[in-house]
Structure 1
């Protein structure tokens, strides 16, 4: 599963919690019962928002038993039988379990349970639920992690795999889509209905089952003999073509890479109007948010196409990692999400090399390292027993850190050796379950390298290593490792890792495994200073700190670093500023040294840090002086790029957009005028958000103009946010509304997103953006407190935690205490860990502002001297 645009990233350490942790008990099934096959017939009533189900489950009992316990939630049982016996049903809503008690012990061995029941098509985007458009209802599913039990009584744990026969009784005008292909479609059993039956599935976990009902229309393709479809509501089918093209490239790539053919008879990808996650890897029937599958090939900017390609690649990778081979339990969720995150950019980077996916990976690694460098973090493998604990596992550690660690190991071993280890791991566990040890044992046996020690070091320990280098000696470069904290806490040298370190110097990159016992990195004979960079290819999961001499040599030869390495350098230096080990003024010198970099992602990474300085460190007077420096230094660079022209590289387009945004923030008059002209052209009568020759620049221009508070533009963007014809434009408009800073417009936006007019899958997004903005934060926070019932009513299973996380952008002790107090008495589901991290963020901001404000002011003074 790929989460939405902002991952909820929280893990609670009890000592940091602002309130006592509630004791949670395991909710695992008692065992002794092994499901082998489910037969399901479901009849949804889309108008009444209900459904009925008839189910048989073939199970094997280890021993005779009068009671069988499985999972069920929001299910009303009509009858339960086993052979000639009828069971009494008792429900435990807290554990989401049902126990069937029979008059006589059911004998050991094979038993068939017969179940008749009814359920509700809920509006919570979980289980079997309603998705709506203006014209009709759809019945769709989202079961990961623990919501299959809301659609059919089941042994809802990932290791309890079984095969499935699925049939859906639907209205005659509707169609149905499920994991496998249709084998029969017959009228009845009642007038106005038809019954659609699907081929028996392979052995699979409960959470990977899917069934969708509505009037979906599809674009078809094919690759390696596998039929591929991308489907949507009828009005949007023209926007499914790019997804099919992506899948047609990715599927053969994966077939070859894994050495195991795609395991299902077809691949369906379906865009749903209401869908909380970014996408979900149901076996053979992947479901998506509309914005993650649908794109207008002619008018959309490249980032929108990149997003679709990446999400398609992520979910298709899951067909092997997660679907065919599944983690044994949710504590090893990273075996699903880390693998898919590591894998997602490989095929698309090969397909579209001009789109610079490796730079995206480097920028994502920087974000993940910052996440994991907070005091409140967790290990990759962590305890997860209850549904709430399991939901909190879907965070930046399971996705970002796990994926980055896999990338680091691959970089060390070499792509082909690592690929063979992946194949061996998958081949050993086809249609079964696996653990972390299974993976690293396969890689160790294949490579004859200490992968087991490396992986165990990162999977079982929290945090990020900091490698502190000293001046090169006769035997190499002295290095010390410790745990790095953004908070400024003393580095913890008692925590050590076994990690591969790849060094770039005057010679070719050299990789060595650094153990806790090692104090020196040996270098090749020709690898002498003055040049030495400690994270070649930017794949290492660690931060670096250099001596002044080493750093000066790196900056002087920055052009010899790859764009990914420059992104890593900027990220490392900014992290040291946040931790108090480097100076904000010196960091600004690094930014200015890179101002002529031709790569948009490098400049974007640097400018993101400048925005942080502006919002987290600078006083109002400092912001004015910082803006003047930005205009002076970057204005000529932007002007030299000229206006967009046909055939430009994506790098040039992205660089122009990054510079426009920075200069717009700095209120450069010429840029503001240009941005307003582009925005007005995009929203001219009949244009409907058209982006012209450079859609990325026009999108940036709209954002820049919105931030200046143009009320006339607000009305146009409000109208666009209500136009569902193009989900991408609609989503972009909703986000843009949150960029207006006038308090009256901020309140109007908030009223709109809690009114019910905005889908609850999206309503948290503008709230979080407004809560994160320096100029909108206070108005938004006051609104949230005064209108809590309306705000809270919009939260889905995970979105509430994202709003809690956004509250961590305050930067005062008073606001920290206010946030802690409010959420202590206004609980948000699955957000306790997120709150702990939010409070950490506020504490860190207070400390960084106190420490770095004088350094920034000295630097600004040096910039204004004659």
Structure 2
């Protein structure tokens, strides 16, 4: 990324150019308290506001600069003087200039202003249900300035008093509890909320509408889960989750939840999955609302996980906040790691620990492109900050935290978290503060480990040799899909006998003689492993003795090395077949998912039939053990049956496809199918050969269903139809008024990522770019571009590069580079492994 991109703004009619550093506010003024009074006009899509900011000036000065974007500021007064307003649009700043210098110390800054309830899903914006509009907020990372002039940086914490004047039939929700509700002019009423603790501006929230809520309590704290009135029946599951997690976190952190109440609110239009506003967490409806009786376990798992993630932020992120956005990982990495820990404690039978192993494998792949970044990376402009919300800030940071917990031990790590939070309560902290505390509490060199992982990009590759007198020699480098290069980390290598550090290009890992050598016990290590041929044979022969996380990690390592040209696809497929009867659904999913990749990215058209026949022959006998559901099956067996059903259907098994069509027909006729676990796979399989009549029925569900999760599933299934006319219809639908812009990119991205539809989709996107771009939100542009990484020819690569050079998308420079890397890697994979696959198929076909 070009970190010093020039940012153009207009001041007084002249264009100014400023480096990224220029977007930070001057350090001479600090806010201590905001008194905010807002009056939204939902029908007119506007709002007015007035605020008093208690600020402290470090020295006398005649100017005060703060953040403001898309606001019209009227009167400004301070210290008895009226100020003159000037704007720097590029920096999203407003400066107030006074005739006489304001004295050092405290002064009250009074501001009147007006704004627009926008349709950009950021700042103070409109969200629309089937029947009405709501006024809601989304401020992370730099959008509080779109709702009120503010010192909009995470370290500039202050207390907030909020009052909202709203229509008579509406209510309002904010960070704290309502302390008064009084009539106002024009049939309106004003709701005033209790003073918040000190918090960052991006954590402020206010929402206006006719919300309905289910109510509960935990540890004496009132908890509500709220939604539009028609969906309140879908709130009880999330309420039960929130009640459990509040109690769990009180005990884990050793600090009581600090706010007077906790609200979780589902919003019809919401760009992110969820947002951890202090005391008033907001969610996309599909991440919060679920039918606790009729929904699948997978749907409930997802809601529980997202609720756990956002509630973890109430301590780690809200109570103690990163000092600046370059340490975003402190917030998101910790919450990503904690979500599986907390949700797994609530429902251990749902195997969140195994999901975490799969997510670790995906993150290692994401970080193995040539284009990646360090966990702590420079982020100064709003676009750079937006781009930092990626798989590194969430997945890699969370995985590294999990690795450190494994290294120091869970209870020691928990004590370190408690001491870190206690030391910085209601303040801000840095990466060094966090790992320094862990180092002090554990007595282990956590700082050495973390420094390398936080400040260096990429994935360590540990290459082991045969056992010598002192143990197993290990050579270290950086793993890339394009090969390996030099690299050096301090890596906690965990064996069954314990963990030890390996650093330097050459090291030795001690291990007891006579035991199976597997160099990632627990499956928590953030590194790839390469073994000798003899070690690989030994591990493969004893793979059943490994834990689920270890088996997932071993499969992931072998496939990654194959992609990098350090192994044969035939050898990898032999490993897949060795685990085809694995009792873990996650292991089976890891193995079977790669079959689809091999079929799409390596096999020629002529070889795909042979490949499908091998899959059918090898998995057919396993399927017979799971084809019929038992009377009382656990979640694991249900999941295995669904995985096998989907794989066999994709390979063209006629009996499986017939069953899929039957289950889909039952579902669409209004009957509940006899086997719920296969319904999702059945609908997707049926869609791949579906006609227009079937498409019409799914579209009705996507638009009319009451359950937002069912709506989402039906809508996304439209992208599974292969008929070219229906592919075009889906793309046209995505940019129509019938699809929210938060969802539009998903349909387009799916069509771009599938080998069968990407050619049509890519041509359509280029021809209709203005319409596509009109549907993109701040985050979704980069996600749409990422989907082109599924292309696999040099010609497509060149088209992607030239098209997005000519049509730049905000906050997506790294997304373009990573997509090009992925295409290059696919081209290399096909060239290096196509012949190996032919040889393997020849042997299997005999």
Which category of TM-score, normalised to the shorter sequence, fits these structures? over 0.9
Which residue of structure 1 lines up, in the alignment, with residue 806 of structure 2? Answer: 825
Per-residue displacement from partner, 1:193-231 (whole Å, max 9, x unpaired)? 000000000000000000000000001111111111100
Which residue of structure 2 lines up, in the alignment, with residue 496 of structure 1? Answer: 488
Residue 599 of structure 2, aligned match among 614, 621, 628: 614
Matches within 5 A, 1:312-327: 312-327=307-322
Deviation, 1:599, is 1.2
Per-residue displacement from partner, 1:540-585 (whole Å, max 9, x unpaired)? 0000111111111111111111111111011000000010001101
Deviation, 1:708, is 2.1
Q: For the residues of structure 2 that align with 1:593 and 1:14, how far apart are their CA atoms?
A: 51
Deviation, 1:693, is 5.0
Q: For the residues of structure 2 that align with 1:201 and 1:710, how far apart are their CA atoms?
A: 56
Per-residue displacement from partner, 1:674-721 (whole Å, max 9, x unpaired)? 01111111111x34xx5x454331111111111123433212111111
Q: For the residues of structure 2 that align with 1:450 and 1:327, how far apart are their CA atoms?
A: 22
Q: For the residues of structure 1 that align with 2:76 and 2:499, how far apart are their CA atoms?
A: 62
Matches within 5 A, 1:319-718: 319-488=314-483, 491-493=484-486, 495-504=487-496, 509-516=497-504, 519-524=507-512, 527-529=513-515, 531-684=516-669, 686-687=670-671, 690=672, 692-718=673-699
Is residue 845 of structure 1 aligned with residue 826 of structure 2? Answer: yes
Residue 753 of structure 1, aligned match among 734, 748, 751: 734
Classify the secondary structure of the residue corresponding to 1:762.
helix
The answer to whether the 8 Å contact 1:12/1:833 transfers is: no
Which residue of structure 1 lines up, in the alignment, with residue 747 of structure 2? Answer: 766
Deviation, 1:672, is 0.2
Q: For the residues of structure 2 that align with 1:378 and 1:775, how far apart are their CA atoms?
A: 32
Per-residue displacement from partner, 1:425-466 (whole Å, max 9, x unpaired)? 010000000000000110000000000000001001111011
Residue 35 of structure 1, aligned match among 31, 46, 51: 31
Which residue of structure 2 lines up, in the alignment, with residue 56 of structure 1? Answer: 52
Which residue of structure 1 lines up, in the alignment, with residue 73 of structure 2? Answer: 77
Which residue of structure 1 lines up, in the alignment, with residue 10 of structure 2? Answer: none
CA RMSD of aligned residues (A): 1.5
Deviation, 1:26, is 3.5
Q: For the residues of structure 2 that align with 1:646 and 1:429, how far apart are their CA atoms?
A: 53
Per-residue displacement from partner, 1:453-483 (whole Å, max 9, x unpaired)? 0000100111101111111122211111111
Classify the secondary structure of the residue corresponding to 1:203.
coil
Deviation, 1:12, is 7.3
Larger relative contact order, structure 1 or 2 (CA cutoff 8 Å, min sep 6): 1
- For structure 2, the residue ranges without an aligned partner over 5 or more in a row are 6-16
Q: For the residues of structure 2 that align with 1:23 and 1:430, how far apart are their CA atoms?
A: 33
Q: For the residues of structure 1 that align with 2:64 and 2:683, how far apart are their CA atoms?
A: 59
The answer to whether the 8 Å contact 2:601/2:826 transfers is: yes
Deviation, 1:654, is 0.9
Which residue of structure 2 lines up, in the alignment, with residue 99 of structure 1? Answer: 95
Q: For the residues of structure 2 that align with 1:710 and 1:469, how far apart are their CA atoms?
A: 54
TM-score, with normalisation over the residues of structure 1? 0.95
Classify the secondary structure of the residue corresponding to 2:400.
helix
Which residue of structure 1 lines up, in the alignment, with residue 774 of structure 2? Answer: 793
Is residue 226 of structure 1 aligned with residue 221 of structure 2? Answer: yes
Which residue of structure 2 lines up, in the alignment, with residue 301 of structure 1? Answer: 296
Q: Quickly say closer, same or farther: Cα 1:519–1:22, change in 2 above 3 A.
A: farther
Deviation, 1:600, is 1.0
Q: For the residues of structure 2 that align with 1:334 and 1:154, how far apart are their CA atoms?
A: 24
Is residue 254 of structure 1 aligned with residue 243 of structure 2? Answer: no
Deviation, 1:623, is 1.2
The answer to whether the 8 Å contact 1:61/1:108 transfers is: yes
Which residue of structure 1 lines up, in the alignment, with residue 11 of structure 2? Answer: none
The answer to whether the 8 Å contact 1:13/1:836 transfers is: no
> Which is further off, 376-385 or 709-718?
709-718
Per-residue displacement from partner, 1:172-200 (whole Å, max 9, x unpaired)? 10000000000001111x02100000000
Q: For the residues of structure 1 that align with 2:21 and 2:55, how far apart are their CA atoms?
A: 26
Classify the secondary structure of the residue corresponding to 1:672.
helix
Per-residue displacement from partner, 1:723-781 (whole Å, max 9, x unpaired)? 24110000001110001111100000111110121000000001000100000000000
The answer to whether the 8 Å contact 2:172/2:209 transfers is: yes
